[in-house]
Structure 1
Amino acid sequence: MTTPRIRFLLVAALAAVLTITGTPIPTSAAVPQVAQQWASLMHHSLTPSAAYVRVRTTLAAQRASLRTQSARVSKGREAHTAAQAELTTAVAADAAARTSYAVAREGLTSARNRLTLVSQQRPRSGVVVAGAKGAVTAAVQSASTRSVQARKTAVALKAAQSSARTATVTLDRVVAAYQRLTTAIRTNQQRLIALDKSAEFAGQAAAISRDVVTDVRTRFTVADTTTVNGITVHKSVAFTFRRMLADAKADGIVLSGGGFRTKQQQIKLRKVNGCPDVWTAPASSCRVPTAIPGRSLHELGLAIDISSEGRTIGRDSAAFRWLAANAGRYGFVNLPSEAWHWSITGG
């Protein structure tokens, strides 16, 4: 049997050795390895890789460029349509002017022929010759006018043809650029899907969640908890829980609630909730389902009773709908019988 004096000397010697070797004396149990693995998997699930971020950034820029390019395509099509309409009008006007000029020239030829004919007739009629000369003068004027008009429409046609060619080339160019950008976006979307390992990591975390509970339960101390937005949880779930609260808030859903509670608090809660027997009655026998002390995930900081807008959430609340759609990404699962209860196992 050791005396108190000997025990004191042994403790002092051990402390001296630890001080010399630099080995710290643990003040709490270390977070279990399985819990650390779960936390690491969820961290990787919620933290995209550098390659993923690069592709996502590039994709965002490409989508912005696509909107600009789409506007250019629309503008190019409008210009092309207008140029084609202008060309159609110019072609018709040129054809009409050419026809009109040809008719005028034929009329001038006829008028000159008639003047020659009446000038050679005997007896010669001055009146008839004068009339023929007037007809020639009028035909010359008409042919001249229509010639000028034909030249104008020819110039307009060349301009319309040039505009149409330019519009066609421009449209082809912007459409080709749009198609190249669309192809690049499709490629980067596929790359982004391939780089997204979030579901894979979250699935691996879910697969070991029950092992986390088992491992944590065997060595849990209050020192293994931390506070996130006023809610006490196990350190292993702190990062993902904080992210979930922040992302919910970004979507307009403010979440709060209660996480860790001691066994004494669980006992008190069992009594308050009218459980027939604190230690043996099943949770379902209480007025509000409450786990038997020693079995609740709240006692490990691995479960949270979620509230929003000052009330415990129900299945008809916006907060529950958000959680139902998103909580799985953060490693939290709902206990079907309690809309407010979320944990890493759903238990």
Structure 2
Amino acid sequence: MKPYYSDDLVTLYHGDSLTVLRELPDASVDCCVTSPPYFGLRDYGEEGQYGLESSPAEYVETMRALFAEVRRVLTDDGTLWLNIGDSYYSGRGNPGPNAADEKQPARRGWIRPVDRPGQSWAKPKDLLGIPWRVAFALQDDGWTLRNDIIWAKPNAMPESVSDRLATRHEHLFLLTKGRRYWFDLDPIREPHSDVSVRRAQPHRADPGRTYREGDPYEGVGGAQTLRLDQMNHPLGRNPGDVWSIPTQPFPGAHFAVMPQALAERCILGGCKPGGVVLDPFSGSGTTGLAAAKHGRKYVGIDLNADYLDLSLRTRLAQPGLDFGEASA
């Protein structure tokens, strides 16, 4: 299989993700960071594109089959970081967002799957629960589900809804091939908050107690006791499973892009130094940029050659890749 583009750091393939993955060798990548097209929401104008399946069940099966191949090409200690958003079913029957797209006149009048009336798999206004449907299917297929990370969007787009709360988050699942896998918490630790530091100060109200340096147990706030050596790790605290990361616009693309900071955190925590990162939905190349910035190689796949060209002109450009301040 001939790559669309290849150099010492980046290899790009043009084609259907599942077809390309089937040609990749077993255990050839160390980490997968990806965000597939969400169910029923967008027409990318490509024959065979994912996300336009006729029902959630068909979409989930598409994802299961694709990530089964991802699991095969991952090393035994590899990790999968899967960002996937949810969808509401409206059933209103209105044409979708491509109805007036001059570049795709044949798509005028196209109706998104989530808007097609008379579907048996949901009621109008139902939240479909797509992320968890996919996560459970992957779990049943042999993946180990380790985290449901909430990507909180402080700058989320406003929604013109008045009978429910606005959506301000997406799910990011950490899945592994087995119980033991590469995971490095240290590069993604966060600074201790002032509250934690204050709470960690010994409570010396008891004049009869002797406090020894290095004692892992100190009195805190009276009766409360904490492991100070774990709570105040010198490199910072565990970031937890709620990540507040702003969305990041990319003027060169008309499709949603993953924030670079999100991809970086996944790669630093889940890919060994010098390893290979895969994204079967490469898009604008955000995962590739994050991988290269931190000394990992990148394998990207996309059905749309224009998107691969866009990523090569911008985020994956060589030379001139904007690494910023690289982390170890």
Rg larger in 1 or in 2?
1
Q: Mark yes or no: TM-score above 0.5.
A: no
Query: Which TM-score applies when normalising by structure 1?
Result: 0.21
- Give the helix-richer structure, 1 or 2: 1
- Give the strand-richer structure, 1 or 2: 2
